[in-house]
């Protein structure tokens, strides 16, 4: 068990103050598995004691907002990191969420540790207990003990984050005394590197990646912005977009469906990659479209409540689009 | 032969005379009903010669074209995909091709990242009266695909 930190205390106090307005508050709670957290759905006031907030809270709780706001009648409060508010902002700007019914309680963030990276580093051994102290992670497995430097194990999105203490949108903001302290990287650095590869290399990369895809649809179900679910065209009979065969071609095509559903909407929370049981690098596809959207239409999803997503609107003269002539 | 819509004078026979069964090239073309399909029709009625590697699918408007149509065609083994619609500002439904332009540009930039050559895809604006432009577009596009195919 970790000790209660100051931001956690502030968060609990704040939620206790405003709890009567809400029908449900979603937050994080301790998990029995070391280095993981669970989502917590608070309906009674005494459950607030279970609430936690630390640098393991990687889940994007905005995922629950759309479906729960349709099911429940009252107000919903959601504990969010600054990067997660982008998903909420995007949903509101697309009029999928009602601003008055879903309130975001944003907590300043000091970087989030990526469980998958840590497990990879220790070679997939089973973690019995773990402890995080002063930028160091101590991990005990059955045979070995590890001490890792935390700064190498933050989630990919943390390295390009510049909104950790100034979220673009919030209803309540709780400041965190500890701030994100890692070396920033250039945005889309890994993607630029990837795009330099030849087409053959890219093809074989994806073939290898998608040969592991089991079409569990976890990536779709965790995504805060993919609100299609029952109407997903991958599972329709008419028109029959996809067969139910499990192979690399179908797995890849499912991701293409996702990529174009999220075109100009993806807020790059990285949840799809986090939940993927086959460790497929899905976010590359969404990032590529986001990069182009930024270049062509100067639009970043999830930062502005009033701006329309670029593919839902148009201009008579597009300055940045250069059409090719075939004559 | 010469007529109001165009002429076969400058067309190189080498660019047209192929048997697609022999070369094995398959190109899917999505044409909007109001402009490009009529344009292709005009090219046909005025007997402008074109390569036969192209399979035309008629759609109501270029705005009807889901980028996934194109990706599905590539997945199913098409060697190239051509999309054509009315010129901007000339859409039968006033704004369909404006949406299409944004989507197709994004799609075009996206293709290399999944391992498809960008040059295998193109979108063009051909109006109902531009039979000759259609002929040139088809000839040049087919030529380009043949070059990539080797």
Q: Maximum distance among all alpha carbons in chain A?
A: 72
For residue A51, pLDDT beyond 90: yes
Please state the φ and ψ torsions of residue A84, each to the nearest 5 degrees. Answer: -70, -25
Locate the domains of chain B by residue range: 22-149
B71 in A contact zone (CB under 8 Å): yes
Question: Could you read off the pLDDT of B51-68 as tens digits, one per residue?
Answer: 888 999 999 999 999 999
Query: Is the Cβ pair B113, A195 closer than 8 Å?
Result: yes
In this complex, the residue of B102, B109, B117 whose CB is nearest that of residue A199 is B117
State the average pLDDT over residues B113-140. 93
Question: Could you read off the pLDDT of A79-118 as tens digits, one per residue?
Answer: 999 999 999 999 999 999 999 999 999 999 988 999 999 9
Extract the tokens encoding A106: 């944003």
* Residues B87 and B52: beta-carbon distance below 8 Å: no
Extract the tokens encoding B50: 């074109």
Distance from the Cα of A193 to chain B's closest Cα (Å) equals 11
> Mean of the per-residue pLDDT values for chain A?
91
Distance from the Cα of B21 to chain A's closest Cα (Å) equals 25
- The Cα angle at residue A300 between residues A173 and A254, in degrees rounded to 5: 110
B112 in A contact zone (CB under 8 Å): yes
Q: How far is Cα A5 from Cα B55, in angstroms, rounded to an integer?
A: 66
Q: How far is CA A294 from CA A9, A163, A265, A290, A324, in A?
A: 39, 18, 11, 6, 20
B132 in A contact zone (CB under 8 Å): no
Among A234, A262, A287, A327, the strongest candidate for a mutation testing the B interface, having the largest count of B CBs within 10 A, is A327
Share of chain A above pLDDT 70, in %: 99
B17 in A contact zone (CB under 8 Å): no
Query: Is the Cβ pair A256, B113 closer than 8 Å?
Result: no
CB atoms near residue A315 (< 10 Å): 12
Share of chain B above pLDDT 90, in %: 76
Q: How far is Cα A96 from Cα A171, in angstroms, rounded to an integer?
A: 18
**Confidence at A1, pLDDT banded by 50, 70, 90:** very low
Distance from the Cα of B30 to chain A's closest Cα (Å) equals 16
Query: Is the Cβ pair A253, B75 closer than 8 Å?
Result: yes
Question: Could you read off the pLDDT of A165-194 as tens digits, one per residue?
Answer: 889 999 999 998 888 888 889 999 999 999
Distance from the Cα of A183 to chain B's closest Cα (Å) equals 28
State the average pLDDT over residues B28-53. 93
A233 contacts on B by Cβ (under 8 Å): 68
- The Cα angle at residue A69 between residues A66 and A72, in degrees rounded to 5: 145
A11 sits in which H/E element? helix A6-18
Locate the domains of chain A by residue range: 1-109+163-180, 115-153, 186-313
Residue B134: closest C-alpha in chain A: A327
* Residues A85 and A55: beta-carbon distance below 8 Å: no
Query: Is the Cβ pair A321, B115 closer than 8 Å?
Result: no
Query: Is the Cβ pair B75, A323 closer than 8 Å?
Result: no
B86: Cβ–Cβ under 8 A, 6 or more apart, which residues? Answer: B32, B34, B35, B36, B62, B92, B97, B125, B127
Tell me what pLDDT residue B6 has. 65
Residue A199: closest C-alpha in chain B: B115
B148 in A contact zone (CB under 8 Å): no
Query: Is the Cβ pair A260, B123 closer than 8 Å?
Result: no
* Residues A108 and A164: beta-carbon distance below 8 Å: yes
pTM of the model as a whole: 0.91
Q: How far is CA A281 from CA A54, A205, A277, A309, B79, in A?
A: 26, 10, 11, 25, 27
Query: Is the Cβ pair A256, B114 closer than 8 Å?
Result: yes
Tell me what pLDDT residue B18 has. 60
A30 bridge partner residues: A37
State the average pLDDT over residues A243-266. 92
Nearest partner of B82 among B25, B124, B129, judged by Cα: B124
* Residues B20 and B26: beta-carbon distance below 8 Å: yes
Q: How far is Cα A147 from Cα A134, in angstroms, rounded to an integer?
A: 12
A119: Cβ–Cβ under 8 A, 6 or more apart, which residues? Answer: A127
CB atoms near residue A78 (< 10 Å): 27
Where residue A181 falls (left for φ over 0; alpha for ψ -120 to 50; beta otherwise) is: beta
A192 in B contact zone (CB under 8 Å): no
Cis geometry, peptide bond prior to residue A26 (ω within 30 degrees of 0) = no
> Is 3.10.20 the CATH classification of the domain at B22-149?
no
For residue A309, pLDDT beyond 80: yes
**Confidence at A230, pLDDT banded by 50, 70, 90:** confident
With tokens 């100034």, the residue in question is: A166
Query: Is the Cβ pair B99, A326 closer than 8 Å?
Result: no
A29 bridge partner residues: A38, A51
Question: Could you read off the pLDDT of A130-149 as tens digits, one per residue?
Answer: 888 878 889 999 888 999 98
Q: Maximum distance among all alpha carbons in chain B?
A: 46
Dihedral sign, CA of A19, A22, A23, A26? negative
Cβ-in-10-Å burial (0-12, 13-18, 19+) of B121 comes to: buried
Q: What residues 18-47 of chain B have any CB closer than 8 A to a CB of chain A?
A: none
């Amino acid at each position: 068990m970790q000790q209660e930190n100051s931001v956690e205390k502030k968060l609990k106090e704040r939620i206790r103050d405003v709890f009567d307005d809400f029908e449900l508050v979603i937050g994080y709670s301790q998990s029995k598995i070391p280095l993981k957290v669970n989502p917590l759905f608070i309906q009674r006031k005494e459950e607030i004691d279970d609430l936690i907030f630390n640098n393991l809270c990687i889940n994007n709780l905005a995922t629950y907002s759309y479906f729960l706001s349709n099911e429940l009648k009252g107000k919903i409060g959601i504990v969010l990191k600054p990067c997660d508010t982008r998903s909420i902002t995007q949903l509101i700007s697309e009029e999928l969420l009602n601003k008055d019914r879903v309130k975001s309680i944003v907590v300043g963030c000091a970087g989030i540790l990526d469980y998958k990276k840590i497990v990879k580093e220790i070679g997939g051994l089973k973690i019995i207990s773990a402890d995080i102290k002063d930028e160091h992670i101590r991990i005990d497995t059955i045979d070995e003990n590890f001490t890792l430097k935390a700064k190498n194990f933050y989630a990919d999105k943390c390295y390009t984050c510049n909104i950790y203490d100034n979220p673009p949108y919030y209803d309540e903001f709780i400041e965190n005394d500890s701030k994100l302290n890692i070396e920033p990287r250039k945005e889309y650095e890994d993607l630029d590197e990837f795009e330099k590869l030849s087409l053959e290399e890219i093809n074989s990369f994806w073939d290898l990646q998608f040969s592991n895809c089991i079409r569990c649809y976890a990536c779709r179900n965790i995504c805060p912005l993919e609100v299609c679910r029952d109407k997903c065209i991958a599972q329709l009979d008419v028109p029959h977009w996809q067969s139910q065969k499990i192979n690399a071609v179908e797995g890849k095509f499912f991701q293409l469906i996702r990529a174009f559903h999220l075109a100009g909407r993806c807020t790059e929370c990285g949840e799809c990659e986090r939940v993927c049981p086959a460790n497929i690098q899905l976010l590359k596809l969404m990032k590529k479209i986001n990069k182009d959207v930024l270049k062509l239409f100067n639009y970043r999803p999830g930062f502005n409540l009033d701006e329309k997503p670029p593919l839902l609107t148009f201009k008579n003269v597009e300055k940045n689009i250069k059409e090719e002539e075939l004559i | 032969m010469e007529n109001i819509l165009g002429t076969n004078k400058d067309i190189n026979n080498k660019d047209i005379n192929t048997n697609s069964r022999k070369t094995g090239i398959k190109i899917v073309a999505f044409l909007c009903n109001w402009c490009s399909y009529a344009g292709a029709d005009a090219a046909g009625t005025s007997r402008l010669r074109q390569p036969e590697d192209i399979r035309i699918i008629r759609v109501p408007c270029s705005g009807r074209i889901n980028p996934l149509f194109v990706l599905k065609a590539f997945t199913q083994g098409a060697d190239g995909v051509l999309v054509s619609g009315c010129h901007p500002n000339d859409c039968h439904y006033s704004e369909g091709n404006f949406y299409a332009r944004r989507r197709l540009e994004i799609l075009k930039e996206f293709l290399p990242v999944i391992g498809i050559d960008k040059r295998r895809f193109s979108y063009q604006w051909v109006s109902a009266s531009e039979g000759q432009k259609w002929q040139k577009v088809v000839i040049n596009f087919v030529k380009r695909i043949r070059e990539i195919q080797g």
